[in-house]
A and B are shown apart, each in its own frame.
Chain A
């Protein structure tokens, strides 16, 4: 299994409080992603990073910010948690791959174990 850990694994917080989730990898992969998983929606991308200090928004970025100050850590912050942000959050990593006859592509993602967040 890819070396990806998420902390905390479970968190209960109150509406209006800030929350930070951490994703840590030991694979030295370039790309990191934060997803949220909700019933009936599959996984939806919140933010992703394509290098240290390089991040971009995903499909559902409102209310979330991220930071990546070093290769191995990708932080997700809920500035002021709301009940709609109750979810399971997954971190994923990927890296450039070389396929004969094709340019470098980053493809296969490896996922962390998830963080269950409950906002009351």
Chain B
């Protein structure tokens, strides 16, 4: 069965410093992987997705993630944090087993950005 683990429930950074949000996945198939962002009292918005093309994926707002099959990881990074990046981030895996493509969500990482 597919699963996803977000290794940190909270990450705290200062504005202007790099961001690293860690995600490990488990899947018996070639998975699709996603990062979504949720700002307070809002719905989820797609940041980026990996679907078996380039392993380095660029998303919106300067975020990117690298698919590493050998490490079963899909960590999210950004070179320089902005106050507006403060939000909840979800890593998602979908491996299409049985043709259903029902995704599995991680429990989320709360990004806190200090001035």
The residue from A40, A105, A112 contacting B32, defined by CB atoms under 8 A apart: A105
Q: Is the CB of A113 within 8 A of B42?
A: yes
Bound: A111/B37 CA distance, A: 11
Bound: A17/B33 CA distance, A: 39
Residues of chain B within 8 A of A102, CB atoms compared: 51-52
> How many of chain B's residues have a CB under 8 angstroms from any CB in A?
24
Q: Is B45 an interface residue (CB 8 A)?
A: yes
Q: Is the CB of B94 within 8 A of A107?
A: yes
Q: Is A41 an interface residue (CB 8 A)?
A: yes
Q: A105-B32, A107-B51 are in contact. Are A42 and B43 (CB under 8 A)?
A: no
Bound: A99/B44 CA distance, A: 24
Could you tell me which residues of chain A, from 3 to 44, have a CB within 8 Å of some CB in chain B?
A: 4, 35, 40-44
Q: A105-B32, A111-B43, A113-B43 are in contact. Are A41 and B107 (CB under 8 A)?
A: yes
Please tell me which stretch of B56-64, B65-73, B95-103 contacts chain A, meaning at least 4 of its Cβ atoms lie within 8 angstroms of it.
B95-103
Q: Is A58 an interface residue (CB 8 A)?
A: yes
Residues of chain B within 8 A of A43, CB atoms compared: 44, 90, 105
Q: A107-B32, A107-B94, A114-B43 are in contact. Are A42 and B108 (CB under 8 A)?
A: yes
18 contacts between A and B (CB under 8 A): A35-B105, A40-B9, A40-B107, A42-B90, A42-B106, A42-B108, A43-B44, A43-B90, A92-B44, A99-B52, A106-B101, A107-B49, A107-B94, A108-B49, A110-B46, A111-B43, A111-B44, A112-B43
Interface on B for A, CB 8 Å cutoff?
A: 9, 32, 34, 36, 41-46, 49, 51-53, 90, 94, 96, 101-103, 105-108
